[in-house]
C-alpha cells in the first residue's frame, strides 16, 4: 500500500515505515504529524485518485529529527569583467517516518 501525499509544498510517494527527508516542519522531535492532502492511495489492485484530494484520507508520521542538508555552492561569474560572486546554502530539513496510511 502506498500513497501520494503533499508535504510542505512537495509531493512524495510514501509507504508505511518509510523514512523521508522533507523541508523543515513545525513540531518537536518525537512528535506526531498528520498530512491530509492525500492525492492518491493504492491498496493492492484498487487505486483511489482524488479530485484534487482523497476525501477522509490521511497519512500520519513521526518527526525523527531536524537537520541541515548538504551545502550547495552558488558561483556566478561574468567573463572579462572581474565579476565573481560565491555563495553557499544549506537547506533546513526534517526527517520523518511514515507510521500509518489511512483511507476513508
Q: What is the pLDDT of residue 104?
A: 77
| Grid cell 489511512 in the structure block, residue | 102
Among 32, 29, 25, CA closest to 6: 25
Q: Which three cell numbers, joined as nine digits, stand for 92?
A: 533546513
Q: What is the pLDDT of residue 96?
A: 98
Q: Where are the beta strands (DSSP E) in the chain?
A: 2-7, 10-15, 19-23, 32-35, 38-43, 46-49, 58-78, 83-102
Compute the distance between CA of residue 25 and CA of residue 46 in angstroms, rounded to an integer: 31
Among 64, 72, 58, CA closest to 7: 58
Q: What is the pLDDT of residue 93?
A: 97
pLDDT in single tens digits along all 104 residues of the chain: 999 999 999 999 999 999 999 999 999 999 999 999 999 999 989 999 999 999 999 999 999 999 999 999 999 999 999 999 999 999 999 999 999 999 87
Amino acid at each position: 500500500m502506498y500513497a501520494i501525499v503533499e508535504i510542505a509544498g512537495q509531493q512524495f510517494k510514501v509507504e508505511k515505515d518509510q523514512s523521508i527527508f522533507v523541508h523543515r516542519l513545525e513540531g518537536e522531535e518525537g512528535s506526531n504529524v498528520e498530512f491530509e492532502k492525500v492525492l492518491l492511495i493504492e491498496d493492492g489492485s484498487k487505486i483511489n485518485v482524488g479530485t484534487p484530494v482523497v476525501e477522509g484520507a490521511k497519512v500520519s508520521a513521526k518527526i525523527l529529527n531536524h537537520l541541515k542538508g548538504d551545502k550547495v555552492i552558488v558561483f556566478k561569474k561574468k567573463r572579462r569583467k572581474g565579476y565573481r560572486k560565491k555563495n553557499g546554502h544549506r537547506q533546513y530539513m526534517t526527517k520523518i517516518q511514515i507510521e500509518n496510511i489511512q483511507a476513508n
